[in-house]
A = this chain, B = another copy of it.
Amino acid sequence: MAHSIADIARALGLQADGDLDLIVTHVAEPSSATRDALALAMDPKYADGLTAGQACAAILWSGADWQGFGLKAAIFAPRPRWAMAGVSQVMDPGYDFGTGIHPMAFIDPTAQIGDGARIGPFVSVGARAQIGPDARIGPNASIAEDVVIGAGLTLHAGARIAARCVIGDRFIGQPNSVVGGCGFSFVTPEPSAAEDVRATLSGDREIRAQKWQRINSMGAVRIGDDVELGASSSIDRGTVRDTVIGSGTKIDSVCQIGHNVQMGEDCMMCGMAGVAGSARIGNRVLLAGKSAVNDNIFVGDDVIVGGAARVFTNVPAGRAVLGDPATKIETQLEIRRALRRLPRLAATVAELQKAVFKPGQRD
């Protein structure tokens, strides 16, 4: 991964100064950087670290006095996280998927694998599967029958793509992620207790025996381009139509997306978030960590669901929501403030009661 400062600056489209021919081999935090590292110090808070470390080159905040830190070369980043994305493309050591198709992989003879594939040991590709060019598949991953996947697939160790799922270009499946487990859909011959409670919002109901009959998932999962699915995360297949994930949507680790969900483009779903069956999620929706959307709910474009929020009702486009149950963020913050003061409020009301109602006066 050795690159000159000039090359890196050019790749990032950023200004550089000093010895542009200097070679760096990897990135490091400023304080632990060795002489051949490119220190990432895009905020003044890293100034002390720069002084403590041994880096000769760094990416710095705009206007930093690079020579004052004893550096030989520097690149300047007006938007640090954006620069970080660029640096991480250039300097990423990447992953070793081997060369060609490993002799201990099993590729069904009717499967079609595009040029340039690198496939590890104990990978299984099912009948009639079609995989685009430049696929990289880690050990023990599996792709089932009749799956169709575009170009530039990265499927890490143990990831699963179940039958008939259709996935666009540049999909990344992290280790042990799952696309296309069966939907969780069962029915009782008579309306179930849960259906009663939902209808009445009351616990009063007839108790009766009930056996669950399975509704098989006849649909699959359809995923756009540039989607990523995190480690141990799962997207269930649809009942009749496919579960759909739009292009550009990113899903973190240990997330779950239920059957029939229709999720839009460029969404971001953070760790341990969940979307229950048949929910519809717009474009550019952000679901923060541990948040949840109830089944059959509609969430509009550009909605932001805060950390651990529980969405039980439809959310119009553009809204930011928080809490359990989720409300507009402003309302929730007001509720939380009032809640912190609630014990004191109760004490005040008790005082008022005492002052207003003489003993025996209040019937």
Contact = CB atoms under 8 A, between A and B. Distances in A.
A341 interface: yes
A194 to B, nearest CB: 5
Contact of A339 (B228, B339, B356): B339
A212 B272 contact: no
Interface stretch (A2-10, A50-58, A65-73, A84-92): A84-92
Contacts of A156: 160, 162, 181
Contact of A330 (B122, B126, B203): B203
Interface in A118-132: 120-122, 124, 126-127
A258 interface: yes
B343 A342 contact: no
Given A29-B240, A202-B320, A290-B274, A93 B346 contact: no
B121 A121 contact: no
Given A240-B29, A256-B254, A348-B349, A302 B207 contact: yes
Nearest to A351: B362
Nearest to A321: B203
Contact of A268 (B172, B186, B353): B186
A113 to B, nearest CB: 16
A14 interface: no
A294 B289 contact: yes
Given A187-B85, A343-B334, A211 B272 contact: no
A246 interface: no
A18 to B, nearest CB: 21
Interface string A38-52: 001000000000000
A324 interface: yes
Interface in A280-323: 284, 286, 288-290, 292, 294-295, 301-302, 304, 307-308, 310, 312, 317-321
Interface string A176-191: 1010111010111110
Contact of A218 (B91, B256, B343): B91
A289 B284 contact: no
Contact of A234 (B138, B254, B294, B317): B254
Contacts of A209: 266, 284
B342 A335 contact: yes
A131 to B, nearest CB: 15
A169 interface: no
Q: Which of A81, A175, A345 has the most CB of B within 10 A?
A: A175
28 contacts: A27-B240, A40-B240, A81-B187, A82-B188, A88-B239, A89-B216, A93-B164, A93-B218, A95-B163, A122-B124, A124-B139, A156-B162, A158-B176, A160-B231, A181-B230, A181-B232, A184-B230, A184-B271, A197-B304, A201-B333, A203-B304, A203-B319, A212-B248, A212-B266, A252-B258, A254-B274, A337-B343, A352-B353
3 shortest A-B CB distances, which residue pairs?
A: A181-B231, A203-B320, A124-B139
